Structure 1
Amino acid sequence: MDTIVEINENTIQNAAELSTELWPDSSLTEMTAHYEGVLNASLATCFLLQNESGYFGFIELSVRNDYVEGVEESPVAYIEGLFVNPRYRHKGSGRRLLKYAEDWARTKGFKQLCSDTELENSPSIEFHTSSGFIEVSRIVCFVKDID
């Protein structure tokens, strides 16, 4: 049976390893430091999904006080990352993590849960839409080096 556990000192490395699969431009060292920060943050958490073979998914959550597109009130609960190992996808694992996130947000008093994804990430967009999220905007971000 799969279980969901909140990140702790013993699972930081597991969260970091999974997150480098979601964000391959990040190093394991960088993500380990990131999850040490999450563990010590009062406005963030991460839940890991595990089975008898080990950890295979996570959802990272935060409380955002800054502007978030489409929200009715601020602060708001925010999904910073959601990942399920490809071998375990399309079996309800992502939805279980999402349900856990919704429960976490409700216990904190939030009425909305927000998220984002890259414009070209069709599977993520489909997951969000089929899970009840409503698209509120699309943006293209720019950077210009000036020196």
Structure 2
Amino acid sequence: MIDKATKSDCMDIAKLAILMWENHTVEELIEEFEAVIQDKESAIFIVSIDDKKIGFAQCQLRHDYVEGTKTSPVGYLEGIFIGQEYRKQGYAKMLLSKCEEWAKEQGCVEFASDCELENEDSLAFHRKMGFEEANRIVCFKKTLKK
């Protein structure tokens, strides 16, 4: 039911991911996922029901400072997605457990994640899964005049 993704899964993962990361193209996501799968410090897990891919989770090791943590590297949940009709059935929890298990195998003692402030579903999921809020920030940008 849950497997570590391989290069042959990239199209299926991208078709799911585009529903979450709409400002990308499927082609961009395929390219990104192929690189992630080849990176020994990253992993993607995919959940299937009767050979239909219904969700995925992407995790990696972060060596830079991760808000609220004290160790390095830290396992980091980069993204998690379950198709609408399969939500609230425990699949995201199972995927998160696989990511946490993978991070432990990499020597991590902490695991972290983030979500956008307005993403109430993601915020509720993180809290339900035992994450503690570490900080809230507002990011700024500006264009420099030439």
Task: Quickly name the TM-score band, shorter chain normalised.
Answer: over 0.9
2:44 corresponds to which residue?
A: 46
SS of aligned partner of 2:65? coil
The alignment covers a number of residue pairs equal to 145
Separation of aligned partners in 2, 1:106 and 1:85: 27
Separation of aligned partners in 1, 2:120 and 2:43: 26
2:84 corresponds to which residue?
A: 86
SS of aligned partner of 1:80? strand
List per-residue Cα deviations over 1:65-90 (Å, max 9, x = no partner). Answer: 11110011111110000001110001
SS of aligned partner of 2:7? coil
Task: Determine if the alignment matches structure 1 residue 25 to structure 2 residue 23.
Answer: yes
TM-score by length of 2: 0.96
SS of aligned partner of 1:46? strand
Give the gaps of 5 or more residues in structure 2: none
Task: Say which of 96, 101, 112 aligns to 1:114.
Answer: 112
2:132 corresponds to which residue?
A: 134
Separation of aligned partners in 2, 1:9 and 1:126: 31
List per-residue Cα deviations over 1:30-65 (Å, max 9, x = no partner). Answer: 001001101211111100010115101000011011
1:57 corresponds to which residue?
A: 55
Separation of aligned partners in 2, 1:69 and 1:33: 28
What amino acid is the match of 2:102?
A: W
SS of aligned partner of 1:79? strand
Q: CA RMSD in A?
A: 1.0
2:144 corresponds to which residue?
A: 146
Separation of aligned partners in 2, 1:41 and 1:53: 25
Task: Say which of 98, 102, 115 aligns to 1:104.
Answer: 102
List per-residue Cα deviations over 1:64-121 (Å, max 9, x = no partner). Answer: 1111100111111100000011100011111111111111111111111100000001
Separation of aligned partners in 2, 1:93 and 1:135: 22
What amino acid is the match of 1:6?
A: K
Q: In 2 relative to 1, CA 92–65 (structure 1 residues): closer, same or farther, beyond 3 Å? A: same
TM-score by length of 1: 0.95
